[in-house]
Amino acid sequence: MQKVLGFVSFVLIVGGLAGLVHEWIGGFRLFGFLRYVTPEGYEVYANVVFIVVGVAAGALAEAKSR
């Protein structure tokens, strides 16, 4: 369970950061599948939520390891 949560955390954090970079700079799409779950017009907010949920999943994975 810890490894799954760590992987989910990694995907969400990197995907959220890549989405923010794409929105601000344009043309950079590393984790393109996350754009299908973001509502139209709320891309920046959704990417911030991805990062926050990823950090929470990482914290949960770390708590499970102890």
Contact call for residues 5 and 60 (beta carbons, < 8 A):
yes
In the chain, what is the greatest distance between 2 CA atoms, to the nearest angstrom?
A: 41
Contact call for residues 16 and 48 (beta carbons, < 8 A):
yes
**Domain ranges within the chain, ordered by starting residue:** 2-65
Cα–Cα distances in angstroms (integers) from residue 49 to residues 13, 59, 65, 66, in the given order: 9, 15, 24, 26
Contact call for residues 50 and 12 (beta carbons, < 8 A):
yes
The confidence score (pLDDT) of residue 46 equals 95
The verdict on pTM exceeding 0.85 is yes
Confidence grade of residue 45 (pLDDT, cut at 50, 70, 90): very high
Model confidence over 11-36: pLDDT tens digits? 999 999 988 988 888 877 776 778 88
